[in-house]
């Protein structure tokens, strides 16, 4: 990601998704996944990690954490996700949609399981009630599917903008 992409693709995309997410939440009256995590996954799939992408990841992590008052945690998770993507990118061929879906799915599951674990650790006393855990797993599955939908939709929209002709 270079400076032009940062200001002409990245920042406007954040504002568009921010307002679209607000509209969808007010229309459906339910959380609509984490589109900022989707944007981070898409940019990490198409770009090598550099300074502007790190700045963009930290901005996305902060915006993503505002809703749940977990800004620092989300910034740390997005930073770690960038490290993992940078390390794995040399070993994976992310030009194939199956590889992308697999890697995006693993990242989303890890992200939501970490958030669920930390949420439960800080807010809820430990319990063995089956209905409570079934509800949490249902919520996790809902967020996973909706965020993967965001990722696929945004990726189909951004694919032409992010593919470089000289690579």
State the pLDDT at residue 67.
Answer: 76
Task: Tell me if 28 is assigned to some domain.
Answer: yes
Alpha-carbon span 140 to 91, nearest angstrom: 29
Task: Tell me if 37 is assigned to some domain.
Answer: yes
Alpha-carbon span 39 to 114, nearest angstrom: 19
The residue among 124, 142, 136 whose CA lies nearest residue 32 is: 142
Residue 152's H or E segment, with its range, is: helix 130-162
Q: Which residue has the tokens 């995309």?
A: 13
Q: Considering its fold, how many domains does the chain have in total? A: 1
Task: Tell me if 125 is assigned to some domain.
Answer: yes
pLDDT digits (tens, 9 = 90+) for 104-146: 888 888 888 777 777 777 666 666 677 877 887 888 888 889 9
pLDDT digits (tens, 9 = 90+) for 44-57: 888 777 888 888 88
Task: Tell me if 167 is assigned to some domain.
Answer: no
Task: Supply the range of the domain harboring residue 79.
Answer: 3-162
Question: 150: helix, coil or strand?
Answer: helix
State the pLDDT at residue 124.
Answer: 65
Is the pLDDT at 5 greater than 60? The verdict is yes
């Amino acid at each position: 990601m270079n400076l032009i992409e940062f200001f002409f693709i990245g920042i406007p995309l954040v504002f568009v998704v921010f307002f679209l997410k607000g509209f969808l939440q007010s229309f459906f009256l339910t959380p609509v996944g984490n589109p900022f995590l989707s944007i981070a996954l898409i940019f990490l799939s198409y770009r090598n990690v550099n300074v502007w992408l790190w700045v963009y990841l930290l901005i996305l992590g902060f915006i993503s954490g505002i809703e749940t008052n977990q800004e620092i945690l989300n910034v740390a998770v997005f930073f770690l996700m960038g490290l993992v993507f940078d390390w794995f990118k040399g070993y994976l061929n992310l030009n194939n949609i199956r590889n992308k879906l697999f890697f995006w799915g693993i990242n989303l599951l890890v992200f939501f399981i970490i958030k669920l674990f930390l949420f439960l650790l800080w807010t809820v006393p430990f319990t063995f009630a089956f209905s409570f855990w079934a509800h949490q797993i249902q919520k996790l599955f809902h967020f996973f599917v909706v965020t993967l939908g965001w990722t696929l939709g945004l990726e189909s929209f951004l694919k032409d903008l992010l593919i470089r002709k000289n690579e």
